[in-house]
């Protein structure tokens, strides 16, 4: 069984300081939260960025200064910018962080359209997915394939067969989001059984589902994502003081299952980006 890769999704695009005052907005806060997660055991920082007032942005200049801040604090960490951005952004806006110089080692690639509740629709057409994949291929960026439901895995496999998405593939199963697959052991088993054997996968889940689903992934040989983007609580009613606290809890779970924690360079080898 591979060592455990822990990803920290440190702020996301939706969660606010009104929910947890420790959610980072500023460059310094984002650097601080990345550092706390890194020293707790995270080898990947999944990165959204905000303006100082908390407004989500995909502006390449903001990504640049945030990336530099993180690298100053955590020189060998893998920084994985989101190309999901926020609802309503154009494809051109969303793709900005892949054009950093040098390009990021990894980036996310959302693999289908989602109904996020109410009137919120997160649009990812087939042509958009192909375009994002082609641009990442051109720049040598490893994509993390964001799948909120089984149909998105089917999309990935269809585009793989057409040559757009390259193997070996790394998936992120996002569980418990409104409009997507549930956060149950049955649902996770279904997703795991639907991907190629030479693939790797990470699991994240929303709110109270985070640690039960991450624990199951760890037990089964998958990897783990936690962080304020997905859940702001350390336990029921107890707000996490940092992303590092959430990562520390994953490390303690991994110790129970006797899974060693991957360093950033070990994660690179597991994912095929070294």
pLDDT on residue 1: 87
> How many angstroms separate the CA atoms of 265 and 93, rounded?
30
* 238 CB-near residues (< 8 Å, 6+ apart): none
For the stretch 43-82, pLDDT in tens is 999 999 999 999 999 999 999 999 999 999 999 999 999 9
d(CA 20, CA 85): 21
187 within domain boundaries: yes
Yes or no: say if 40 and 234 are a contact pair by the CB < 8 Å rule.
no
Q: Which residues pair with 112 in a beta bridge?
A: none
Within a 10 A sphere around the Cβ of 161, how many other Cβ atoms?
A: 9
Which DSSP string do the residues of 132-149 spell out, in sequence order?
HHHHHHHHTPEEEEEESS
Q: What is the pTM of this model?
A: 0.97
Cα angle value 7/9/11 (rounded, 5°): 160
Whether pLDDT at 86 is above 90: no
Q: Tokens in use for 4?
A: 């455990």
pLDDT of 197-249, one tens digit each? Answer: 999 999 999 999 999 999 999 999 999 999 999 999 999 999 999 999 999 99
Q: How many residues does the chain have?
A: 274
* 254 in any annotated domain: yes
CATH code (residue 16): 3.20.20.70
Range of the domain at 103: 6-271
Structural domains in the chain (count)? 1
In a domain, 92, yes or no: yes
Is 191 within a domain?
Answer: yes
With respect to residue 1, please indicate whether it lies within any of the assigned structural domains. no
């Amino acid at each position: 069984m591979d060592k455990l890769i822990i990803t920290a999704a440190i702020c996301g695009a939706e969660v606010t300081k009104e929910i947890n005052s420790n959610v980072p907005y500023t460059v310094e806060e984002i650097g601080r939260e990345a550092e706390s997660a890194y020293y707790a055991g995270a080898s990947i920082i999944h990165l959204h960025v905000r303006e100082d007032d908390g407004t989500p942005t995909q502006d390449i200049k903001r990504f640049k200064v945030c990336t530099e801040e993180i690298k100053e604090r955590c020189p060998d960490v893998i920084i994985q910018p989101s190309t999901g951005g926020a609802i309503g952004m154009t494809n051109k806006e969303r793709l900005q962080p892949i054009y950093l110089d040098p390009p990021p080692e990894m980036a996310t690639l959302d693999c289908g359209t989602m109904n996020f509740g109410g009137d919120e629709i997160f649009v990812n057409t087939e042509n958009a997915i192909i375009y994002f994949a082609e641009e990442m291929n051109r720049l040598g960026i490893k994509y993390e394939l964001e799948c909120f439901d089984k149909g998105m895995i089917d999309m990935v496999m269809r585009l793989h067969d057409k040559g757009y998405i390259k193997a070996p593939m790394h998936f992120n199963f996002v569980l418990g989001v409104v409009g997507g697959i549930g956060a149950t052991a049955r649902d996770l088993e279904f997703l795991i059984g639907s991907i190629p054997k030479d693939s790797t996968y990470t699991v994240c889940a929303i709110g109270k589902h985070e640690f039960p689903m991450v624990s199951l992934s760890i037990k089964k040989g998958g990897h783990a994502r936690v962080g304020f983007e997905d859940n702001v609580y350390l336990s029921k009613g107890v707000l996490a003081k940092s992303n590092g606290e959430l990562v520390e809890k994953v490390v303690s779970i991994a110790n129970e299952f006797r899974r060693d924690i991957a360093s950033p360079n070990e994660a690179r080898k597991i994912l095929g980006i070294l």
